[in-house]
Amino acid sequence: MGLTHIIDRRLNGKNKSAVNRERFIRRYREHIKKAVADAVSKRSITDMDRGESINIPTRDIEEHVFRPGEGGKREIVHPGNREYVTGDALPKPPKGGGGGSGTGDASDSGEGMDEFVFTISQEEFLDFMFEDLELPNLVKKQLKDTSAYKYVRSGLSTAGIPAKINIVRSLRGAYGRRLALTGKHRNKIAELEKQLEELKAAPDIPDPAFSTADQIRALEDEIERLKNRIHKIPWIDDFDLRYNQHVKQPYPSTSAVMFCLMDVSGSMSQMHKEIAKRFFILLYLFLKRNYQKIDVVFIRHHTSAKEVDEQEFFYSRETGGTIVSSALKLMQEIVDERYSPSDWNIYAAQASDGDNWNDDSPLCSQILDKEILPKVQYFSYIEITPHDHQMLWYEYLKLTEKWPDQFAIQHLVDAADIYPVFRKLFARKSA
């Protein structure tokens, strides 16, 4: 009997039930959330949005079962016993020395823990990363499902209404059809007309059996018959008609722009820039899950500010003194030129170590208060420093009282603070 191979092509094949997977994720949600939070704090920027392997202790996934208990007097025969006979007392095993053959994490105390490894996908990882978070000011502008619809050309069809007839394509099809159906007849007519010309040019033969006039008449009749057959072919037929086809296509009626403002003065070390970069990446991923279209504007500054691309934003070695207001002024100009608040949801994140000229800090507060905050959905400022706050922090602190919904500030010390601070800035507010 031949060998039979069975291939399972079901979407949810063996051990891959989507229903069971969802049930498992719901049951061990706390383990997964903790693992995701740990992963975010350890990952590099390039793999921030990939999946993750979750280790769950075996004791936490054991199912409770009911079985008959041991009772009464029993006699058990253990095969292969060469050391003991009936009545011998068995020595007690050393304390803590387990007799099992587990493959978990071993230790000197004889205790260990088996772990179950469960891998979550990229989409599931991001769901847990941004769970219970939301973009601020959802009431002001609706962000989810902000698609409008427009009809766009989607080829041609053979059925439709008269208003959508494509005249050029219909005529082209009709012309091609007529050429295909009459080609054989046209070639025959050309051949007969050539013969007719030769007969008319030849001298008349007196023999009635080979009368040139009869031959000419027969050729002319055949040519006329073929031409009539060509004329009977319809100039345009229902089969030739082509109609423009349109499909309903969604497009974002509301778009978002995110401004990333980073201090690159001499006081900002590479560690500070890396922390800022990780925060910006988190914010970008978060916005991507709420908008179909996002523009990202990178602004770096020391004593002067300029708009740059992503590569220069994070890796340029240009440095200098610190004038924070230069970045805010440039942002204000870009908003006025390219991003109307009536069409765009404007977000901004500013990262700095707080070092600034004392005379410039009040100016920063004034620009934010008068020009920027009235136009943006949300402006977040993170100060990256292990030291005491400086004047810029205290100027911004005043704005949080006046603009509690549009402006927020947080303090970062190291990379481990990024994700907790991010969750504070975008925590879902109770109704």
Provide mean pLDDT across the span 306-330.
84
Q: What is the pLDDT of residue 106?
A: 47
Q: What is the pLDDT of residue 40?
A: 64
**Half-sphere exposure (CA, 13 Å, Cβ side) for 178?**
15
Q: CA 350 to CA 262: how far, in whole Å?
A: 6
Any residues with CB less than 8 A from the CB of 265 and at least 6 apart, and which? 301, 302, 303, 319, 320, 321, 322, 355
DSSP result, 152-221? EEEEEES---GGGB-HHHHHHHHHHHHHHHHHHHHHHHHHHHHHHHHHHHSPPP--GGG-HHHHHHHHHH
Q: CA 143 to CA 344: how far, in whole Å?
A: 11
Strands 407-412 and 378-384: parallel
Q: What is the pLDDT of residue 71?
A: 66
pLDDT over 50 at 103, yes or no: no
Strands 378-384 and 344-352: parallel
Q: At 277, phi and psi to the nearest 5? A: -60, -45
Any residues with CB less than 8 A from the CB of 60 and at least 6 apart, and which? 28, 31
Element (H, E) at 62: none
Average pLDDT along the chain: 75
Any residues with CB less than 8 A from the CB of 174 and at least 6 apart, and which? 235, 236, 237, 240
Q: Of 219, 216, 230, 222, which Cα lies nearest the Cα of 186?
A: 230
Q: Of 327, 203, 321, which Cα lies nearest the Cα of 262?
A: 327
Provide mean pLDDT across the span 147-162.
76
Output the CA torsion sign for 333, 337, 343, 344: negative
Provide mean pLDDT across the span 415-422.
80
Between 10-14, 152-156, 257-261, 408-412, the lowest mean confidence (pLDDT) is in 10-14
Highest-confidence segment of 36-45, 71-80, 325-334? 325-334
| Per-residue pLDDT tens digits for 20-34 | 666 766 766 777 777
Q: What is the pLDDT of residue 45?
A: 47
